[in-house]
Amino acid sequence: MGLTVQDFKDILNVGIQLTVEKDSNKLLNTIVEKGMQITNCDASTLYLYEDDVLKFRIMRTLSQNVYRGVEGEPITDIPPVPFKEENVCAYTAIHRKVINIEDVYDSEEFDFSGPKRYDAMTGFRTQSMLVIPVENNTGELIGVLQMMNAQDENGNVIPFDPQFEIIIRSLGSLAAIELTNIQYVEEIKAQLHSFVEAMATAIDERTPYNGSHTRKVAEYATILAKKINEKYQAGEIEEGFDEDRLERLQLAALLHDIGKMIIPRSVMNRATRMDKDMKALEDRFALLACYYEIDFLKGKISEDAYQEKNALLKDIVDFVHRIDNVGFLQQEDFDRVQEIATMYYEKEDGEKIYYITERENVCLSVRKGTLTEDDRKIMESHVVMTAKILSKVRFNKNYANVPRWAAEHHEYLDGSGYPNHISGNQLDTETRILAIADIYDALTANDRPYKPPMPKAKACAILHSMANEGKLEERFVGWLEEAVMADE
């Protein structure tokens, strides 16, 4: 009996289904399932060609309710088929030839001891068999599809109709092409991820003071995105994060500080206000002590004046050490720095040696943190460089927004962020998430020498304060707090 018009429609629909499927596991299941439906057979096994053997990938036997490998789980208790011509599947793969056997028990062409042992263990009776090579459009072998026990309308086992050979082989090839395309896409994604990981490693290794920052931001962004997704799945909000969207967010997080590659280490690694400049200041005060001692020995100043100067120099050095790494500079300490900046020793030739230089005055006068205004501007330029560097990388349309999200992680909802003062609806959800994750890690990080890690509750309180000021999205801050405090 020939194929009907409906049969051809069904076959074409299968072909369409194969071309649109983007999940490799579902694609492999479709080959097996639809092949069995078209040929009306009871059992089928799909082998994939790997490491010069044919590995069992999917096994289905309807009459015995066998469904193995259908969820992607490996079949490890059955050894792979070696690439030897006496094995019918291997022969098909080697010669790229379709094998159609009416009854394997009457066939002497191949070694069917394996199927016969399987039959003896399970009670199944392998009879008719259709074995088809699965190869893509470049002739690359993907695997072998073995179909067993075609049936008539009454359920009787019959030989496979030869007309199915070209149909199943064509569908197999179509599926192989799509599988190859999926693998290509996965390889490209893997290459992109490896590039991003390499850049993240380079960024974090560049400074010992935030060696895990990049990955921690990605971690917190992921935590928040998953919390958002919980709300979405519960019907509480209108947008969520599927795997692809979450992947894009994670890539943006890993790339958000790539611009720090060009920031000078003297700024990046500035652990205290004075940092490496402290040695020069200490040497100068030692020199000043020598000048005052010489003046005393020459009789230019009294012993009391000399002792007073020595005590003053020591007190100033102690004071500088005390304020060097305080988180916030109090007004009285700021005022004393300005006072010290006016002090100097005058040499015989009239040259004045100021106790602290203009640069040291600026550094010691920093109210919060360790960076001067000029240093901060240099540091803030990293987002501009992030955008510039990533503009040289070709991101396909699926990842087109990743560079923008990465470069906007210091923008705030009220427009007070930098570098472009973007605000409100101009900021995507991903950008809002990255801003919160970046600040949260900066507050709670335990690898910053200029400050101890802040407790989670206090960090969340600061985030809420910023949200109240209109800088951050209040909902997201609350959901991140809910997620991180759940670990307490």
Give me 309's structure tokens: 């100067």
pLDDT at 139: 84
- Verify cis geometry, omega within 30 degrees of 0, for the bond prior to 82: no
Residue found under tokens 């005052």: 292
**Rounded distance, CA 74 to CA 445, Å?**
41
Q: Rounded mean pLDDT of the chain? A: 88
pLDDT at 18: 55
Helix axes 163-206, 243-255, angle to 10 degrees: 30
- State residue 184's pLDDT score: 76
Question: What would the pLDDT profile of 92-123 be if each residue is shown by its tens digit?
Answer: 999 999 999 999 999 888 988 888 888 888 88
Residue 24: CB atoms within 10 A of its CB come to 16
How far is residue 352's CA from residue 341's CA, in Å, rounded to a whole number? 12
Residues with Cβ within 8 Å of residue 170, at least 6 apart in sequence: 15
For position 353, what pLDDT does the model report?
A: 95
51, 35, 52: which is closest to 43 by C-alpha?
Answer: 35
| Pairwise CA distance, residues 362 & 374, whole Å | 10
Q: What is the pLDDT of residue 210?
A: 62
Start-end of CATH 3.30.450.40 domains in the chain: 5-183
| Angstrom distance (rounded) from CA 20 to CA 26 | 11
Which regions in the chain score pLDDT beneath 70? 1-22, 207-211, 447-451, 487-488
Q: What are phi and psi of 423, to 5 degrees?
A: -145, 170
pLDDT for 21 equals 57
DSSP string computed for 277-304: GHHHHHHHHHHHHHHHHHHHHTTSS-HH
- Amino acid sitting at position 476: F
Rounded CA-CA distance 116/157 in Å is 17
Percentages helix, strand, coil for the chain (3-state, rounded to 5) are 55, 10, 30
Give the whole-angstrom CA distance, residue 477 versus residue 467.
8
pLDDT of residue 15: 58
Q: CA end-to-end span of the chain, whole Å?
A: 70
Q: What's the rounded Cα separation, in Å, for the pair 174 and 15? A: 7
Q: Give me the sign of the Cα torsion angle 459, 463, 465, 466.
A: positive
Res 324: pLDDT: 93
pLDDT of residue 126: 93
Separation between Cα atoms, residue 423 and residue 471, nearest integer Å = 9
Q: Which CATH number fits domain 207-264+378-485: 3.40.50.720, 3.30.420.40, 3.40.228.10, 1.10.3210.10?
A: 1.10.3210.10
**What's the pLDDT score for residue 41?**
94
Assess contact for 148 and 127: CB atoms under 8 A.
yes
pLDDT in the model for residue 451: 66
Bridge partners, residue 82, by sequence? 53
461/341 Cα distance (integer angstroms): 38
What angle is formed at CA 76 by the lines to CA 57 and CA 150, rounded to 5 degrees?
40
The single-letter DSSP state of residue 79 is P
Measure the CA dihedral 228/234/238/243, to 10°. 50
- Domain 5-183: top CATH class: alpha beta
Which pLDDT value is given to residue 172? 76
Residues forming beta bridges with residue 133, ordered by sequence position = 144
Which of 277, 251, 467 lies closest to 357, judged by CA? 277
d(CA 81, CA 331): 80
Angle between the N-to-C axes of helices 213-233 and 243-255, in degrees from 0 to 180, rounded to the nearest 10 = 160
Q: What's the CA gap between 206 and 430, in Å, rounded?
A: 26
pLDDT tens string 335-393: 999 999 999 999 989 999 999 999 999 999 999 888 889 998 988 899 999 999 999 98
**DSSP designation for 354:** E
Distances in Å between the Cα of 334 and the Cα atoms of 312, 375, 435 are: 18, 19, 31
In the chain, the percentage of residues whose pLDDT exceeds 70 is 93
Residues of the chain with CATH 1.10.3210.10: 207-264+378-485
Please give the pLDDT value at position 3.
55
DSSP state of 328: B
Cα→Cα distances 278→180, 282, 283, 291, Å = 61, 6, 9, 20
Q: What's at 158, amino acid-wise?
A: I
Please give the pLDDT value at position 395. Answer: 87
